[in-house]
Amino acid sequence: MRATLIYGAGDVRVEDVPDPVLRTPSDAVVRVLRSCVCGSDLWPYASREATEQGQRIGHEFLGVVEDAGREVRTVKAGDLVVAPFVYSDNTCEFCREGLHTSCRNGGNWGVHDVDGGQGEAVRVPQADGTLVKLPVSGNDTALLPSLLTLSDVFSTGHHAAVTAGVSERTTVTVIGDGAVGLCAVLAARRLGAERIILMGRHQARTDLGREFGATDVVAERGEEGIAKVRELTGGSGTHAVLECVGTKPAFEMGIGVVRPGGRISRVGVPQYSEGLIGRYVFGNNITITGGVAPARHYIEQLLPDVLDGRVEPGKVFDVTMSLEQVPQAYQAMADRTALKVLVA
């Protein structure tokens, strides 16, 4: 089959790889109908060291079960399924607590002989724990983009909102107008937040943010951005800050706009090891929370609203390309000519 490999910064290729087959009785093989490129794929695309050997990549996919091992109970050949961005057994102590990203038997796509999502098919370990059956057909093409966002970006935005304690009583700042930031706006609105300030500077994106529920857009960054959000909130900042970028300046801006007693949830993979958590954070009782989103935990919760169209997170896909075009998809997202590329 054909699948995507990354060889180094700026070097993504679609190549022939072995067809996936069941290796253990708990595996399934899924034929991919939709996949996509993630903002987090752009970090290795920007900086990964060049290697002789490519590595499979892609961690968001939706497709049809082609084959299932004899221990697999919850899905069968022909089912339309979505996979979260890590696989997990859904039974260990961490999964039972909703922290599937810390599953004792889980892992990442694209490493250790596990397929990546940007390919024609994927062998899915822990298929019962990982895959969620979708009660629609693969022919419901209008729904597929939104369903695919359950794999990562919508679940991740939701995780930011949940861990930051967003409710109808909280004001919210979302930092970042990428797909996760926009999904965080949508998630915050869905949880009842009435005041949502989106910090971003790409108008096409912030316009979608307004459609998703942002009440204010702040294009300024750094100290200027902080001053603007404080001005919009009577000087106090917002109860919840959803940091959807992952850089140190974004985190520091988050500290600058959070209200005393408030919560910053980080869902952008941090590209820094140390951050300001000294007397300011301590003196104001600011909570730093979030982390890698346990998407598997959220898929079933979010699914009904996606199915009935109450939310349409799939609008973050502004470009569709074929699997063979994935290298161009990376480049378009790196160049910010595409917000998020659907691979179909």
What gap in Å lies between CA 92 and CA 108, rounded to an integer?
17
Residue 266 engages a copy of itself in binding (rule: CB under 8 A) = yes
Buried b (16+ CB within 10 A) or exposed e, 42-66: eebbeebeeeeebebbbbbbbbbbb
Residue 269 engages a copy of itself in binding (rule: CB under 8 A) = yes
Residue 273 engages a copy of itself in binding (rule: CB under 8 A) = yes
| Residues near 290 by beta carbon (within 8 Å), at least 6 away in sequence | 159, 160, 163, 164, 242, 243, 264, 265, 266, 267
Q: Which of 249, 251, 232 is nearest to 241 (CA)?
A: 251
Minimum distance, C-beta of residue 162 to a copy of itself, in the bound complex (Å): 11
Q: Are the beta carbons of 195 and 175 closer than 8 angstroms?
A: no
What gap in Å lies between CA 190 and CA 50, rounded to an integer?
42
Of 15 and 272, the one with the shorter C-beta distance to a copy of itself is 272
Of 15 and 97, the one with the shorter C-beta distance to a copy of itself is 97
Number of Cα atoms under 13 Å in the Cβ half of residue 340:
31
- 84 to 103, contacts with a copy of itself by CB under 8 A? 94, 97, 99, 101-102
What gap in Å lies between CA 160 and CA 243, rounded to an integer?
8
Q: H/E element holding 185? A: helix 179-190
Residue 275 engages a copy of itself in binding (rule: CB under 8 A) = yes
Q: Are the beta carbons of 179 and 148 closer than 8 angstroms?
A: no
One-letter amino acid for residue 102 of the chain: S
Of 109 and 317, the one with the shorter C-beta distance to a copy of itself is 109
Of 163 and 206, the one with the shorter C-beta distance to a copy of itself is 163
Q: What angle, rounded to 10 degrees, do the helices at 153-163 and 295-307 form?
A: 110
243 C-beta neighbours (distance < 10 Å), count: 32
Q: How many residues bind a copy of itself (CB under 8 A)?
A: 32
Of 140 and 231, the one with the shorter C-beta distance to a copy of itself is 231
**224-263 footprint of a copy of itself as x/- string (CB under 8 A):** ------------------------------------xx--
Residue 288 engages a copy of itself in binding (rule: CB under 8 A) = yes
Question: Of the ranges 181-189, 194-202, 286-294, 317-325, which one interacts with a copy of itself (CB under 8 A)?
Answer: 286-294
Of 71 and 93, the one with the shorter C-beta distance to a copy of itself is 93
Residue 285 engages a copy of itself in binding (rule: CB under 8 A) = yes
Residue 168 engages a copy of itself in binding (rule: CB under 8 A) = no
The correct pick among 74, 287, 325, 328 for binding a copy of itself (CB under 8 A) is 287
Residue 281 engages a copy of itself in binding (rule: CB under 8 A) = yes
Of 151 and 233, the one with the shorter C-beta distance to a copy of itself is 233
**Binding residues vs a copy of itself (CB under 8 A):** 94, 97, 99, 101-102, 163, 260-261, 266, 269-270, 272-279, 281-292, 294
